[in-house]
Structure 1
Amino acid sequence: MESDYLPSSECDTESIESIHQGLIENLSEDEICDITTDVLEQIEMYMTNEIISISSPNFYKNMIDYVSGSVFENWLALELCEETDDDYHEIVEFVEQQVDYYLDFSNIPKRARGYSNDLETFSNFQIINQKIMHLQSIPQPVQKTKEWYDFRYGLISASNLWKVFGSEAQRNSLIVEKCQPVNTNDFTRFSVDTPMHWGNKYEPVTVMIYEHMFNSRVGEFGCIQHPKYPFIGASPDGINVESTNQLYGRMLEIKNIVNRDITGIPKEEYWVQTQIQMEVCDLDECDFMETRFLEYSTVDAFYQDVERDYRGVILHFIERDLKVNSMPIYKYMPVDVSLDKETIDEWIKSVRDECRSQNLVLFNTLYWYLAEYSCVLIERNRFWFQSAVPKIEELWRIIERERIEGYEHRMVKKKVSVSMNTDLSNSYVINNMPLQNSICLVKLE
């Protein structure tokens, strides 16, 4: 079998030396080569047949379990091992070594890899530069206009596309979402207490920290449509646009975590999202950065904390003529501003004076710090996308058909609950209904 990532007939000396363990230490070198080749062929077959599943964080573990089980059964039949936990675990270790060896030489990129200070330079500046210029030239519809709503209605965004490969309930949810007429209220209704809003609020902070860490500059590109598959779209958090930096052309995807652990292993939906974004933009690398920000309970705690590498200030402004569903306006102190009280007070006063002229009122001052973060590199996996496209296209055809024929059979029926007060007012409270013509009263100092 010809392969760039299977050993030659003479086998690999380093690989042989690394697998001399109890079960095979008495085997000849030729026998070890045969066993190694067999395992690598099984790994390659699994990678080829199950590439669509590499989106799962458990992909490599599942592959190791599958190959180890197959090898264990074969070795039992050949009386090369005994049916004991020790022998099985030794085979698992052997297979793990071969998986590492395979991945080092395979043209299928690893699912993600840890960040290294030894950055590789961009392979071809001219090609990357042309791609960036093309992306910057793509016209963007003005947000919240009819054109903007129609544009987004006509595609599946990268952030939701993982549902294509999920459970039946998740697929149904996506189909219903894309079949329902656009409800503009969904784009204006929000709460500052949701994890989504928290993530959006701290996204600019993460960008500033990333730019500071890597001495780069991140640009925004809006929502981009796939040039070949118009039903696929993506809105990357940013792309490195500093042409003199080694990260030029590398995408950035940000997740600001609220209530889960940061492991450095991208969740399945996030891995799918980054792959779709790279395919849409025709770029080959994406830095996946997860951060956890916390806020100080007092101003004194902020100034007393001198241990944090990254901490800062966010000013929360609101419009003086506040309307329902008015979006908060945040102003972010640059991360390179000196953290002494005098300098920060001067910055706050300057921004406050500027915003006052824009009829904005300072509602709150937030003092934050970066509690933890992870940054891993996800490389474009063309093999996965080739396997995924037919499934995406199939679901989009269902959406197009059921927009005409009906999609109601996929909907989850929700009950509207009515709660009756027992006081003399005989008033009612109805939950799960959209608010209309509401007012919001805020007392400003």
Structure 2
Amino acid sequence: MITSDSDYTDELFESSDESSLSDVEELNTIDIMTEQDWVDIYESIDILIVDMIEDNIVRISNSSMYKDIADGVMEILYETFPHVFEEVEDETLVQDLYYLVEQIVDVEFEQMNIPKRSLTMTIDTLEPMSVDNIQMLACKIDKLRNIPQPQQKTKEWYEFRFNLLSASNLWKVFGTEAQRNSLIYEKCKPLDTTMIEYVNTSTGGAMHWGVKYEPVTIMVYEDMYQTRVEEFGCVQHPKYEFIGASPDGINVDPTNMRYGRMIEIKNIVNREITGIPKKEYWTQTQMQMETCELELCDFVETRFKEHDTDSHFYDDTEHEYKGVILHFVERPEISEEGQDIPLYKPCAPTYVYKPMSIENTKEAVKMWIEQEKKERDSQNLALFNTIYWYMDEFSCVLIQRNHQWFAGAIHQIEELWNIVLKERIDGYEHRCAKKRKPNTIVSMSDVSNSYLTNISPKPSICLIRLDENGNVM
């Protein structure tokens, strides 16, 4: 049966014309159906599915597309062959017919050379690459390495990305009118560099969690698959200069069977990991592969959790992957002699990750921490927090580059970008989302003193206490 994602994992995608026709013969034993009925139905199903795929190729980014096609075909069959379904009392026939539709959907996607939406793969299913393929990938990787670009997360990098539709938000092109408006407004509104600096200092929220644990996922991935991953920054599309992508990494070990494969990482906080790429993530990986001209991407989802105490970390024998992150902050200058509670100067956090090669023993970890503290001291950094993490879940599915999807999608992308260029000159304010103005609520306390309950608080000041050596206590 086609799953809700219909990403056809390897086990599900074993259909062929022969198997579908044999299903017809089996169904043909039902008395109320003539042989001609089945021939007509089969031909109708085949034509309907091909038309639906060709007319809706862009919708393959939706995880429900395959099921939507099957449901749509069944609706038309009900209308086209009412005499068949009106006489059917046994629901088994309808279920069998639905299964036949699913089988033909599989066949048509295969015959049209449209890759499966995603694949669940193990190391055993990978085949060694040919020498020619390795050399071809080596040329592509060297080309990507030599593309001049600003350093990631810098002001120049954000300005560069501002003039691109990035892979991470391009899914909005195919979304609702509100999502399209949001993307156009975002790309028309002048870039606020002060907000960039503010965002970089924040250590809360799901976005920061993902950034913090991305290097950990890379370490786990490299260890698990015995490979090496390299980062390539923000890459501009070689043909469509308004498209850019920042892949989380590319496998660069030519001796590994994953050589040349991209990796896209999502470190999950509070949603279920299903192994089924969401629409926005699938679109993101497609744009990354198109931009870097690579054919495969490992879509990795992880869930990391943190131990409350170091003793829990050392006592943990359940989780194979665990480790330590050191959170450093810029050491504040003490303005007055003898003052030990200086004002903390906001700055981006610095994270240092314990290498996998260092054992998770108290002695080894303690020695590593002391060494890192000494090295960071020369950079005027103080250890703010020690984080003991463990990996709770890991999922890796393969997404293949879908050339047919991009061919069908590029005109919509180009159309939206032309709107951005036009409205940067003519005005874009009409696309701003209308904000609701909350009413100020005045409450009364038990002693009849009124106070306001929904006024945004003023920014707070972070205070840290230092010891005599300048380390955070």
**CA–CA separation in structure 1 for the residues paired with 2:155 and 2:305:** 38
Question: Using a 3 Å threshold, how does the CA distance of structure 1 residues 287 and 30 change in structure 2: closer, same or farther?
Answer: farther
Q: Structure 1 unaligned runs (5+)? A: 1-10
**CA–CA separation in structure 2 for the residues paired with 1:18 and 1:144:** 56
Matched-pair contact (CA < 8 Å) for 1:108–1:381: yes
**CA–CA separation in structure 2 for the residues paired with 1:85 and 1:18:** 17
Partner of 1:45: 51
Is the aligned partner of 1:269 residue 2:275?
no
Once the two structures are superposed, residues 333-361 of structure 1 have per-residue CA deviations (whole angstroms, 9 ceiling, x without a partner) of 12243222222222222222222232211
Matched-pair contact (CA < 8 Å) for 2:166–2:244: yes
Q: Percent sequence identity over matched residues?
A: 49
Once the two structures are superposed, residues 31-64 of structure 1 have per-residue CA deviations (whole angstroms, 9 ceiling, x without a partner) of 8676545433322222111101000011111011
Partner of 2:370: 349
Partner of 2:395: 374
Once the two structures are superposed, residues 295-314 of structure 1 have per-residue CA deviations (whole angstroms, 9 ceiling, x without a partner) of 11121211121121111111
Give the alignment's TM-score, normalised by structure 1: 0.88
Paired residue type of 1:176: Y
Matched-pair contact (CA < 8 Å) for 1:112–1:378: yes
Question: Using a 3 Å threshold, how does the CA distance of structure 1 residues 298 and 18 change in structure 2: closer, same or farther?
Answer: farther
The residue correspondences of 1:410-425 to structure 2 (distance < 5 A) are: 410-414=431-435
**CA–CA separation in structure 1 for the residues paired with 2:110 and 2:457:** 53
**CA–CA separation in structure 2 for the residues paired with 1:187 and 1:323:** 19
RMSD (Å), alpha carbons: 3.0
Partner of 1:6: none
Question: Using a 3 Å threshold, how does the CA distance of structure 1 residues 111 and 74 change in structure 2: closer, same or farther?
Answer: same
Report the more deviating stretch, 23-32 or 266-275.
23-32
Paired residue type of 2:157: W
Matched-pair contact (CA < 8 Å) for 2:326–2:386: yes
Paired residue type of 1:279: E
Paired residue type of 2:128: T
The residue correspondences of 1:76-225 to structure 2 (distance < 5 A) are: 76-77=82-83, 82=88, 85-117=91-123, 118-122=125-129, 124-142=133-151, 147-190=156-199, 191-225=202-236
Report the more deviating stretch, 184-193 or 55-64.
184-193
Distance apart, 1:128 and its partner CA: 1.0
Distance apart, 1:421 and its partner CA: 11
**CA–CA separation in structure 1 for the residues paired with 2:407 and 2:17:** 32
Paired residue type of 1:164: V
Report the more deviating stretch, 21-30 or 351-360.
21-30
Once the two structures are superposed, residues 77-121 of structure 1 have per-residue CA deviations (whole angstroms, 9 ceiling, x without a partner) of 457962764432221112122223334444100111112321133
Partner of 1:284: 295
**CA–CA separation in structure 1 for the residues paired with 2:21 and 2:434:** 60
Once the two structures are superposed, residues 255-307 of structure 1 have per-residue CA deviations (whole angstroms, 9 ceiling, x without a partner) of 00011100111000001100000111011111000001111112121112112
**CA–CA separation in structure 2 for the residues paired with 1:145 and 1:210:** 26
Partner of 2:253: 242
1:314 to 304, 322, 325: 325
**CA–CA separation in structure 2 for the residues paired with 1:324 and 1:388:** 46
Once the two structures are superposed, residues 367-405 of structure 1 have per-residue CA deviations (whole angstroms, 9 ceiling, x without a partner) of 111111211000001111111111111111111111111
Report the more deviating stretch, 42-51 or 235-244.
42-51
The residue correspondences of 1:70-81 to structure 2 (distance < 5 A) are: 70-77=76-83
Matched-pair contact (CA < 8 Å) for 1:154–1:231: yes
Distance apart, 1:442 and its partner CA: 1.8
**CA–CA separation in structure 2 for the residues paired with 1:24 and 1:227:** 57
Q: Structure 2 unaligned runs (5+)? A: 1-15, 333-342, 466-471
Question: Using a 3 Å threshold, how does the CA distance of structure 1 residues 338 and 30 change in structure 2: closer, same or farther?
Answer: farther
Distance apart, 1:16 and its partner CA: 3.4
Partner of 1:59: 65
Is the aligned partner of 1:442 residue 2:454?
no
Distance apart, 1:141 and its partner CA: 1.9
**CA–CA separation in structure 1 for the residues paired with 2:318 and 2:105:** 41
What SS class does the counterpart of residue 355 from structure 1 fall into? helix
Distance apart, 1:432 and its partner CA: 9.2
Matched-pair contact (CA < 8 Å) for 1:289–1:375: yes
**CA–CA separation in structure 1 for the residues paired with 2:85 and 2:159:** 65
**CA–CA separation in structure 2 for the residues paired with 1:428 and 1:101:** 61
Is the aligned partner of 1:393 residue 2:411?
no
Give the alignment's TM-score, normalised by structure 2: 0.83
Question: Using a 3 Å threshold, how does the CA distance of structure 1 residues 229 and 364 change in structure 2: closer, same or farther?
Answer: same
Distance apart, 1:143 and its partner CA: 5.1
Partner of 1:3: none
Partner of 1:330: 351
1:363 to 384, 404, 407: 384
Once the two structures are superposed, residues 175-196 of structure 1 have per-residue CA deviations (whole angstroms, 9 ceiling, x without a partner) of 1111111101222223212100
Question: Using a 3 Å threshold, how does the CA distance of structure 1 residues 169 and 282 change in structure 2: closer, same or farther?
Answer: same
Paired residue type of 2:82: L
Once the two structures are superposed, residues 220-242 of structure 1 have per-residue CA deviations (whole angstroms, 9 ceiling, x without a partner) of 01111111111111111011111
Question: Using a 3 Å threshold, how does the CA distance of structure 1 residues 342 and 20 change in structure 2: closer, same or farther?
Answer: farther
What SS class does the counterpart of residue 188 from structure 1 fall into? helix
Paired residue type of 1:273: Q
Once the two structures are superposed, residues 101-152 of structure 1 have per-residue CA deviations (whole angstroms, 9 ceiling, x without a partner) of 3344441001111123211334612211111000000011245666434322
**CA–CA separation in structure 2 for the residues paired with 1:168 and 1:130:** 41
